[in-house]
Amino acid sequence: MRLHGEVSDAELEWGLSQFIGEFYQTPPIRANVARQVRIRVLYEAEVVERADRDVLLRLVVSGGTYVRKLCHDLGLVLGVGGHMSELRRVRIGPKSERDATTIQQLQRALWEFRQRGDEESLRAAIKPVEDFIEYLPKIVVLDSAVDAICHGAPLAKPGVAMIEAGITPGIDVGIFTLKGELVAVGVALKSFEEMLRGEGVMVRTDRVFMARGTYPPRWRRGRPKAS
């Protein structure tokens, strides 16, 4: 971050403290989303290094946070203005830079695939989406329920094959096929114990990752009633 005026270390620490926890943020003008006020979370903020008006920050934020807008707003709170001069994303969820593949590694793997038909390097370079949500509790569903979920339907008890222990209401859960393929991510509406004992809807589907029609539909849409 580049500060536009003189700020003491104590003032900078105070300014950062004003954003810890939930805060309101409006996406910048050059953004691919509607410019509506949203609630974001700043979990951690640390001044790693400072050289006059240049400040190196380590931030842990919720998904969808615009760091350049956070730097701008921090400058306003401090009364001197400021902007983001550089951004380096070092972790997303459970994955860090150590798990990343460089462009050079990907190019090499693609060359080996095209020239020799060797898929090993390419498969090692391109990680499956399942790797990125391995930290979420899992619910495995029957094949008959997959396509309905792909159309956004909630997950009800008849479609459940296996439930991982430790699920509580309100947390995100991964919905998988019997083969271990990711279908969707949803929000648990019941606890693990309630899911085992109860009936009805267990999970509200939030984000679908599997394409519709990957599994044959085994559900029927209701026919419109005659007027």
> Quick one: CA dihedral 149, 153, 158, 161, positive or negative?
positive
Kindly give the confidence (pLDDT) of every residue in the chain, 227 residues in length, as a single tens digit, with 9 standing for 90 and above.
999 999 999 999 999 999 999 999 988 877 777 778 889 999 999 999 999 999 999 999 988 899 999 999 999 999 999 999 999 999 887 788 888 888 999 999 999 999 988 888 888 888 888 888 888 899 999 999 999 999 999 999 999 999 999 999 999 999 999 999 999 999 999 999 999 888 889 999 999 999 999 998 875 555 445 44
Delimit the domains of the chain by residue range.
2-88, 96-127, 130-208
Task: Name residue 94's beta-bridge partners.
Answer: none
Q: Which fold has domain 2-88?
A: Alpha-Beta Plaits (3.30.70)
Q: 130-208: which CATH architecture?
A: Roll (2.30)
Among residues 61, 116, 111, the alpha carbon closest in space to that of 84 is found at 61
pLDDT of residue 219: 58
* Confidence at residue 27, expressed as pLDDT on a 0 to 100 scale: 83
Residue 54's SS3 state is strand
Residue 169 backbone dihedrals phi, psi, to 5 degrees = -60, 135
Asked whether this chain's domains 2-88 and 130-208 adopt the same fold, the reply is: no
Which residues, 6+ apart, have CB-to-CB distance to 153 below 8 Å? 205, 219
Q: Yes or no: say if 59 and 42 are a contact pair by the CB < 8 Å rule.
A: yes
Q: Which helix (H) or strand (E) holds 205?
A: strand 201-208
29, two tokens: 């003008």
pTM of the shown model: 0.64
Q: For the residues of 154-185, what is the DSSP string, one character each?
A: PEEGGGEEEE-TT--TT-EEEEE-TTS-EEEE
For residues 184 and 150, what is the distance between their CA atoms, to the nearest angstrom?
Answer: 7
Q: How far apart are the first and last CA of the chain?
A: 63
Q: What is the pLDDT of residue 224?
A: 47
Distance of CA 161 to the CA centre of its chain: 25
Task: Quote the pLDDT of residue 221.
Answer: 54
- How far is it, in rounded angstroms, from Cα 185 to Cα 90? 24
